[in-house]
């Protein structure tokens, strides 16, 4: 077992050195995305839009982020695994690695140790941290420290290792049933756009937009990033209240991921939903720690 001090050193990821595996795959997907434009059809566009929603909303927003990382609500295990597999269609790495990277971001937001702060450069916060260094790779001590809940679950650990499989299977199925155009749109173009919109949450929403809460870092609320990411752009609300399953707090702050969670609740699949309401909270410093449970500002939805 490593001491906390040793683990702390490991979380200060190496920021130099080209990560060739990521460079090759990201380049391949960008070339594939441009090539897809020459194979378009209405069916291909529908497949891409549908997968964009399954992977981005069910997978990343509702799954990796609000459920696995912040435990903003509870679902039966089988639903949790399903949402996790949806998130793997984004090629954003294994779910446990994703969760750990994101919990580190919350623990060190815009300070030393933040894997992707624009204070280290705009380009760095968007894509640089993926192409250089080791910010997404964590050794076992770091994984166990930041995600003990997931590391205890053998199926999650197994999924984390085989994170690329759902995407390969989906790609082969699209190719078989829909042909080249549908595969190019549903995989290469859709994944590439999804990567950039997710990265905008790390770059744009720590640069541009309003700060409703004085969180002491640079997180902002961005309506256009929210539209592209099914609600993840209400990022200042989220940093102020990380465990709230609802990010868009005002009626005009459209938050599709929240509607998705409400839909799960309607089918009695989501319970113990944490949410914060604008009228019971002060906009003064509101900074919850990563693992905190509910506090007075929260109530069960
Ligand atoms: Zn952030
Ligand atoms: Zn978060």
Residue 12 covered by a domain: no
Model confidence at 210, in pLDDT bands (50, 70, 90)? Answer: very high
Residue 190 covered by a domain: yes
Alpha carbons 300 and 295: distance in angstroms, whole number: 11
Q: Is the pLDDT of residue 5 over 60?
A: no
Question: What's the CA-to-centroid distance between 28 and ligand 1, angstroms?
Answer: 28
Q: Is the pLDDT of residue 290 over 90?
A: no
Residue 7 covered by a domain: no
Query: Which candidate, 239, 301, 256, 252, places its Cα nearest to that of 276?
Result: 301
Q: Is the pLDDT of residue 274 over 70?
A: yes
pLDDT given for residue 288 in this prediction: 45
Q: Is the pLDDT of residue 32 over 80?
A: yes
Phi-psi domain of 149 (left: phi exceeds 0; alpha: psi -120 through 50; beta: other):
alpha
For the residues 119-134, what does the mean pLDDT come to? 94
Q: Is the pLDDT of residue 212 over 70?
A: yes
The closest ligand to the CA of 218 turns out to be 1
Residue 89 covered by a domain: yes
Question: What's the CA-to-centroid distance between 222 and ligand 2, angstroms?
Answer: 15
**Domain enclosing residue 193, as ranges:** 20-300
Q: Are 6 and 141 in contact (CB under 8 A)?
A: yes
Question: What's the CA-to-centroid distance between 149 and ligand 2, angstroms?
Answer: 16
- Which pLDDT tens digit goes with each residue over 145-180? 999 999 999 999 999 999 999 999 999 999 999 999
For the residues 38-65, what does the mean pLDDT come to? 98
Helix, strand, coil percent content, the chain, rounded in steps of 5 = 60, 5, 35
Model confidence at 282, in pLDDT bands (50, 70, 90)? Answer: low
| Mean pLDDT over the full length of the chain | 90
The closest ligand to the CA of 103 turns out to be 2
- Which pLDDT tens digit goes with each residue over 74-117? 999 999 999 999 999 999 999 999 999 999 999 999 999 999 99
pLDDT given for residue 300 in this prediction: 45
Residue 166 covered by a domain: yes
Q: Are 67 and 80 in contact (CB under 8 A)?
A: yes
Q: Are 213 and 235 in contact (CB under 8 A)?
A: no
Residue 153: helix, strand or coil by DSSP? coil
Alpha carbons 65 and 68: distance in angstroms, whole number: 6
Question: What's the CA-to-centroid distance between 105 and ligand 1, angstroms?
Answer: 7
Q: Which has more confidence, 3 or 80?
A: 80
Residue 141 covered by a domain: yes
Residue 197 covered by a domain: yes
pLDDT given for residue 13 in this prediction: 59
Per-residue DSSP letter, 65: I
Residue 10 covered by a domain: no
Domain count, the chain: 1
Question: What's the CA-to-centroid distance between 109 and ligand 1, angstroms?
Answer: 7
């Amino acid at each position: 077992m490593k001491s906390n001090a040793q683990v702390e050193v490991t979380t200060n990821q190496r920021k130099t050195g080209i990560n060739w595996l990521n460079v090759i795959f990201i380049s391949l997907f960008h070339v594939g995305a441009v090539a897809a434009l020459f194979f378009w059809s209405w069916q291909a566009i529908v497949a891409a839009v549908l997968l964009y929603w399954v992977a981005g909303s069910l997978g990343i927003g509702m799954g990796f982020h609000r459920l696995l990382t912040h435990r903003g609500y509870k679902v039966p295990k089988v639903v949790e695994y399903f949402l996790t597999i949806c998130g793997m269609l984004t090629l954003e790495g294994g779910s446990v690695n994703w969760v750990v990277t994101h919990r580190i971001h919350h623990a060190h937001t815009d300070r030393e140790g933040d894997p992707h702060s624009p204070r280290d450069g705009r380009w760095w916060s968007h894509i640089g941290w993926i192409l250089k260094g080791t910010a997404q790779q964590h050794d076992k001590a770091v994984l166990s420290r930041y995600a003990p809940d997931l590391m205890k679950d053998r199926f999650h650990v197994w999924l984390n290792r085989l994170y690329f499989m759902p995407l390969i299977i989906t790609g082969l199925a699209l190719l078989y049933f829909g042909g080249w155009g549908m595969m190019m749109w549903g995989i290469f173009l859709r994944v590439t756009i999804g990567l950039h919109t997710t990265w905008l949450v790390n770059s744009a929403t720590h640069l541009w937009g309003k700060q409703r809460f004085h969180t002491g870092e640079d997180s902002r609320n961005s309506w256009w990033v929210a539209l592209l990411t099914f609600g993840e752009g209400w990022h200042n609300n989220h940093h102020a209240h990380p465990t709230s399953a609802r990010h868009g707090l005002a009626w005009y702050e459209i938050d599709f991921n929240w509607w998705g969670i409400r839909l799960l609740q309607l089918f009695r699949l989501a319970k113990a939903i944490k949410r914060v309401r604008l009228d019971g909270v002060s906009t003064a410093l509101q900074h919850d720690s990563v693992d905190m449970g509910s506090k007075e500002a929260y109530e069960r939805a």
